[in-house]
Structure formats: structure tokens, C-alpha cells
């Protein structure tokens, strides 16, 4: 706190934005003047929780945003105007009595991080975040236009935002978010930026910051950035492949040099937990009706609860790069898309893995086939359990899950289901152009 207060004064910062998210992962913000910052640290900022999606009922609306000083960073876009210098901090939401607020997604993840710590583990996360750059986000319901004609690792010959990735990486660096890789993905306009690993809570904060920054950098380049899971029928969807590992102190608990895949028993039980509960938490990692179009029709998107070494069609992939390097041993969960709430998604993934360890789940044999080429009947014969193919199916699985209810807490669990059932029913009511073209003349 002392560092933040001193920095705000020395750098002449005029505004401090306090950030938090609602249950669906939309970023919320309130600005405070520097003169109010000390009292914000001591008492928090009161607001009406009933006005935030899924937070509280009208009868219990008083909530408090408590800034987390460890998340203080200057925003990178106001350097040219000293009167506009702005910083941000993430907040934990609490009740007036000081108890953690049951509907705060950051608190949901914090509970799982604490459970991991109670069992001797810290969780490290590294995401590969895909998204599209399009000429405009205002399309009146028509398909957007990509900003370039590039493909995987291409240097596109036509590009409406040629400096985008360079500007994006500089913005992330200014915010203290280290980047491992940046490249063009498989489809026109599609980008991928991989963040260097961090602890789970820090990474969820980083993902929220990432989405904010990418949209701002895109606007500065005269284009739009979308994290919609599948905005194009003919192109691949946007995933957020999530690499995870558990550490015991400085030792990677997932590494065993004597195993065929360098995986420890702990790692295998962690994977088994994710596979066992994948259908139950699918609505969290893939929360939109559009998410399932990526899973069904996207390139290398997982369709069954399987794992494999280097198998990009499996739900959980075990990378085989640098297998002898203990710190690099990790698992890659390939179902989450770029439009999930990162706090809730990380919470259910970590919670499932921890349950697998705690209860000694057995890991099945790895899948070696390209699962996307198998029919549903072939997958059944081989013993593979299909993942949900629609939000409807995913919600039905989640409704039955005591596991997900325990991870999220009763209020988040119930509100999430209620909100997503409404989305599904709204989606079902639509009369699509395809229906009109196909059936109108019948």
C-alpha cells in the first residue's frame, strides 16, 4: 500500500481504476481520485451489488470493493498526456462485515488456490490465447471481415493492422505481463499470444487485463478485436489452451524422470480428475451457445474426455517438448475458449485436478487416434466419453454436479445456471437465415 500511494504521488497519476468482474467475466470498473485511495485501502469502496450481473439480491445489495495493492499497474495508453495518467488495481469484493463476498469470481478461485495450498501445492498456469482481428465489430449481424489474409505463422501480405502484435506485446510488457510467444494463427485475422506462466490468481487477473488491452490496441489501430469462440463458419475457433502444473515449494510435482511421459503419479491423478469431471464443468470453460460450434466444427478442438501425449485432438494434451526438464512438466487442457470467465474456469480445472489427487483417480490409457476423424459410435466402442455438443447438454450435466456446486458456491452455481438457461432459450427462439433458405418454400 505504501508503494502504491508513493508511486501515485511521484508519478502524478490522476485516476486509479478499481477493476473486478461479474459472474460471466465482464470487466467492471470504478475510478477513484488519488486523494481517496488511502481510505479505499482501509475501508474499500461501497457499491450496489444488486446492479452487477449475478452479484446479490436487492435486499442484500451493499457490497465493498477492496483494492489489492499487489495488482497495481499503470495503464499504458496515457503517456502523452500527463493530465490523464491512469493506473489500475484488481479488487476483492467483500460484505459490509468484512467477509469475502460469495458471488465474487476472484474469491471463487482464491478458495481453490487456498485448498491447493492446504494440500501442499501451488498452481502455475500459462494460457495460449487466440482471438480475431476484424475490420469492425459493428456488422449488423453479418459476418465480420478479417483484417488480413494470413495463415499459421504467416507474415500476412495484406494487413489492416500491421503493427498490432508489436503494439500488443509492448502494452502487455508495460503492464508487467510477460509474453512467451506471439504469432499469426491458422485463419485470416486470427492471432495467438501465449503468456508466461504465473500463479493461478495472478494469471486470471492477467487474462482479464489481456482482453482489455487487446481491445484497446485494436481500437488504436483502427480495427476490432473479438474473443468470440467461433465468429466464422469457415475458419477455426478461438481457444484458450491452458497449461497447468502443481509445485511443492520449488519442486514440480508433475515431473517423474522414470515415467514414459515424465509424468508423476500426482500429474496422472490430476489429469484423471479433469477427465472425470469434464462434462460437469463444460458450461464454465465453454459458457456461450457459440462455444460449441468451435468444439464441433473447429480445428483440433476436443470432442471427447481423453488425454494423450502430443495429441492435439485430446481434451488433455501432455506436451513432449523438453521432457527431461523438470520445471517444464505440465499438462495442457484444450477445451477452454477465449470467452470464458478465467476465474471460474481456472477454479473448476484446479478443483477437478485436486479431487483426482485427493481421491486417487485412475488415469485411462492415452488416446493415440485423431479423435476428430472418429464417428460418435467409434468413440463409444473405444470407451471414450463425448463432451457436450451444445450449451443445453452442458447445462444439464452441470445441474447434476455436486462437484461444480461445491467449487462455485451455491449462489454463483444457481445464478450461472439461471443466466445460461435464459441464453439458451433465447438462442432456441431464433429463426435463422439457414432455416428460411431451407424450409420456407416447403
Annotated binding-site residue numbers for L-glutamate: 294, 300, 312, 334
Which secondary-structure segment (H or E) carries 14? Answer: none
Q: Whole-angstrom Cα distance, residue 141 to residue 153? A: 30
Determine contact, residues 347/408, Cβ cutoff 8 Å. Answer: yes
d(Cα 425, Cα 416) in Å, to the nearest integer? 14
Nearest of 125, 123, 128 to residue 312 by alpha carbon: 128
Quote the CA–CA distance of 193 and 204 in Å, as a whole number: 15
- Which residues does the annotation place in the binding site for Mg(2+)? 128, 130, 185, 192, 241, 332
Binding region for ATP: 180, 243-245, 312
Q: What grid cell was written down for 63?
A: 457490497
How far is it, in rounded angstroms, from Cα 404 to Cα 410? 9
Q: How far apart are CA 329 and CA 76, in angstroms?
A: 34
Please report the DSSP string for 173-211 in residue order.
Answer: HHTT--EEEEEE-SSTTEEEEEEPPEEHHHHHHHHHHHH
Residue 422 CB partners (closer than 8 Å, separation 6+): none
If phi over 0 gives left and psi between -120 and 50 gives alpha, with beta otherwise, what is residue 44?
left
Q: Are 356 and 246 in contact (CB under 8 A)?
A: no
Helix 265-285 crosses helix 410-429 at what angle (to 10 degrees)?
50
- For residues 327 and 251, is the Cβ–Cβ distance under 8 A? no
Annotated binding site: 128, 130, 180, 185, 192, 241, 243-245, 294, 300, 312, 332, 334
Amino acid at each position: 500500500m505504501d508503494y502504491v500511494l508513493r508511486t501515485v504521488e511521484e508519478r502524478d497519476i490522476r485516476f486509479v481504476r478499481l477493476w473486478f468482474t461479474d459472474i460471466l467475466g465482464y470487466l467492471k470498473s470504478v475510478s477513484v481520485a488519488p486523494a481517496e485511495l488511502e481510505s479505499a485501502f482501509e475501508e474499500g469502496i461501497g457499491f450496489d451489488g444488486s446492479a452487477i450481473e449475478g452479484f446479490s439480491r436487492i435486499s442484500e445489495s451493499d457490497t465493498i470493493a477492496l483494492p489489492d495493492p499487489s495488482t497495481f499497474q499503470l495503464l499504458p495508453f496515457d503517456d502523452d498526456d500527463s493530465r490523464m495518467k491512469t493506473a489500475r488495481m484488481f479488487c476483492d469484493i467483500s460484505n459490509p462485515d468484512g467477509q469475502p463476498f460469495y458471488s465474487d469470481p476472484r474469491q471463487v478461485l482464491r478458495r481453490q488456490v487456498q485448498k491447493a495450498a492446504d494440500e501442499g501445492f501451488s498452481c502455475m498456469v500459462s494460457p495460449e490465447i487466440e482471438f480475431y482481428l476484424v475490420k469492425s465489430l459493428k456488422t449488423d449481424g453479418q459476418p465480420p471481415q478479417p483484417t488480413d489474409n494470413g495463415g499459421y505463422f504467416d507474415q500476412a501480405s495484406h494487413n489492416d493492422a500491421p503493427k498490432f502484435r508489436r503494439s500488443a506485446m509492448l502494452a502487455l510488457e508495460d503492464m508487467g505481463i510477460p509474453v512467451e510467444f506471439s504469432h499469426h494463427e491458422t485463419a485470416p485475422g486470427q492471432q495467438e499470444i501465449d503468456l508466461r506462466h504465473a500463479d493461478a490468481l495472478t494469471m486470471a487477473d492477467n487474462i482479464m487485463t489481456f482482453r482489455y488491452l487487446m481491445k484497446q490496441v485494436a481500437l488504436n489501430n483502427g480495427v476490432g478485436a473479438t474473443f468470440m469462440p467461433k465468429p466464422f463458419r469457415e475458419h477455426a475457433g478461438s481457444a484458450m489452451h491452458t497449461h497447468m502444473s502443481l509445485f511443492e515449494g520449488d519442486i514440480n510435482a508433475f515431473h517423474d524422470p522414470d515415467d514414459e511421459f515424465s509424468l508423476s503419479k500426482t500429474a496422472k491423478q490430476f489429469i484423471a480428475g479433469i477427465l472425470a469431471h469434464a462434462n460437469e464443468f463444460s458450461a464454465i470453460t465453454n459458457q456461450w451457445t457459440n462455444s460449441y460450434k468451435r468444439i464441433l466444427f473447429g480445428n483440433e478442438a476436443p470432442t471427447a474426455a481423453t488425454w494423450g501425449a502430443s495429441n492435439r485432438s485430446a481434451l488433455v494434451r501432455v506436451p513432449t517438448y523438453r521432457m527431461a526438464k523438470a520445471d517444464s512438466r505440465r499438462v495442457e487442457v484444450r477445451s477452454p475458449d477465449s470467452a470464458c470467465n478465467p476465474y471460474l474456469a481456472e477454479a473448476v480445472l484446479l478443483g477437478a485436478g485436486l479431487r483426482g489427487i485427493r481421491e486417487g483417480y485412475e488415469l485411462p490409457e492415452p488416446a493415440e487416434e485423431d479423435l476428430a476423424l472418429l464417428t460418435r459410435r467409434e468413440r463409444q466402442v473405444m470407451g471414450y466419453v463425448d463432451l457436450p455438443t451444445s450449451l443445453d447438454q452442458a447445462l444439464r450435466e452441470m445441474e447434476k454436479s455436486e462437484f461444480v456446486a461445491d467449487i462455485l458456491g451455491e449462489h454463483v452455481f444457481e445464478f450461472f445456471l439461471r443466466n445460461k438457461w435464459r441464453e439458451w432459450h433465447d438462442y432456441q427462439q431464433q429463426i435463422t437465415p439457414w432455416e428460411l433458405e431451407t424450409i420456407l418454400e416447403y
